[in-house]
Amino acid sequence: MTIYSTIKSTGSYLPEKILTNADLEKIVDTTDEWIVQRSGIKQRHIAADTETTGNMATIAGLRALKNSGLKPEDIDGVIVATTTPDRTFPSVAVKVQAELGIKPGLAFDVQAVCTGFVYALTTADNFIKCGQAKRILVIGAEKMSSIVDWNDRTTCVLFADGAGAVILEATEHNDGLDGQGIHSTHLYANGNQRDLLQTSGGVSTTGDNGHIEMQGREVFKYAVSYMADVVGEVLEHNKITPEQIDWLVPHQANIRIIESTAKKLNMSMDKVVTTVDHHGNTSAASIPLALDEAVSKGDIKRGEMLLIEAMGGGLTWGAALVRF
């Protein structure tokens, strides 16, 4: 018997305010046609001034907790993936822990930008597999609107806010891909590419948060190739074929990147969870938001095999194979 981390439940939160492409046409020199053609985004949610990453993470976490039927005291730890924390310190995770009444245990943030959720999921999986925790609340939460330069049309039309959560639980079963849980995780970063997608400043440089700067075309090129590489690695590592994957759950940055990964896997787009059109790019929140939407709609069902993948600033990228 081996310990696996299974996804016990999901939950999410999106701010009430919706910003459409038509709204953006009034802010910067852009068009709905350009945004849809180049990225696939039609609208996105933007947090209110008073709404923080921690608030959104807490609501998503609470919903995941409710959907699990567990009590706060059943949770051993909280890991939050975010690039836009409420404060430089303490972490968003300790806020979520306190607000949800979770007992003292491990709680910390992970920062790997848009790959953050895959990094957090991997970290939690390893704590569970080595027996250091039984149940971990894993959240991806972002207020990207707070680090967007609203005068920069090349980035402000892409990024958005929200939070998604999963509860991972230790379960024991025999080895084999038929069993529920995380079967493999694959993480990468290439720090030589860190200036392709970055903020203009930070705590120990400019003393402020800075705003997003992206060499879009370059990032796009690497995203397509890294995603193809890492999904190929997942298949090879687990000795499976694309036909054995029920759902691709990708980071939602650009529909063209998602389509290219689906094509590589020879998967039809109706087996790909896509929320980029109505969520935009919510960085670390995008995968758990997409997952919760697909689970809530009844698209993703228990026992189905999911291939999760993401790519972001760093550059970072990664993937996970999970039987839901």
Query: Cβ 91 to ligand UT7, closest distance in Å?
Result: 22
Binding segment for ligand UT7 (CB under 6 A), chosen from 75-83, 203-211, 250-258, 269-277, is 250-258
For residue 137, count other CB atoms closer than 10 A to its CB: 33
CA distances (Å), origin 182, targets 36, 115, 126, 315, 322: 34, 17, 10, 24, 4
How far apart are the C-alpha atoms of 239 and 184, rounded to whole Å?
11
Query: Cβ 89 to ligand UT7, closest distance in Å?
Result: 25
How far apart are the C-alpha atoms of 216 and 142, rounded to whole Å?
20
Has 130 been annotated as catalytic? no
Query: Cβ 106 to ligand UT7, closest distance in Å?
Result: 27
Judge contact between 141 and 161, C-beta under 8 A: no
Has 156 been annotated as catalytic? no
Of 23, 25, 30, 210, the one binding ligand UT7 by CB under 6 A = 30
Query: Cβ 158 to ligand UT7, closest distance in Å?
Result: 6
Q: Cβ closer to ligand UT7: 181 or 250? A: 250
Q: Cβ closer to ligand UT7: 238 or 260? A: 260
How far apart are the C-alpha atoms of 285 and 117, rounded to whole Å?
7
Of 144, 167, 219, 284, the one binding ligand UT7 by CB under 6 A = 219
43 binds ligand UT7 (CB under 6 A): no
Binding segment for ligand UT7 (CB under 6 A), chosen from 31-39, 176-184, 204-212, 272-280, is 31-39
How far apart are the C-alpha atoms of 53 and 83, rounded to whole Å?
9
Of 90, 216, 232, 242, the one binding ligand UT7 by CB under 6 A = 216
How far apart are the C-alpha atoms of 146 and 121, rounded to whole Å?
25
Query: Cβ 65 to ligand UT7, closest distance in Å?
Result: 28
Residue whose pair of structure tokens reads 């330069």 in the numeric block: 149
Binding segment for ligand UT7 (CB under 6 A), chosen from 12-20, 167-175, 211-219, 258-266, is 211-219
Q: Which helix (H) or strand (E) holds 251?
A: none
Of 6, 9, 12, 39, the one binding ligand UT7 by CB under 6 A = 39
Structure-token pair, residue 22:
């038509």
How far apart are the C-alpha atoms of 300 and 291, rounded to whole Å?
8
The residue from 114, 156, 186, 254 that is catalytic is: 114
Of 57, 64, 138, 257, the one binding ligand UT7 by CB under 6 A = 257
Residue whose C-beta lies closest to ligand UT7: 216
How far apart are the C-alpha atoms of 226 and 187, rounded to whole Å?
11
Backbone angles phi, psi at 159, to 5 degrees: -90, 155
One-character DSSP codes across 94-119: HHHHHHTTPPSSEEEEE--GGGHHHH
Known catalytic residues?
Answer: 114, 251, 281
Binding site for ligand UT7 (CB under 6 A): 30, 34, 38-39, 114, 153-154, 157, 216-217, 219-220, 223, 253-254, 257, 281, 311-312
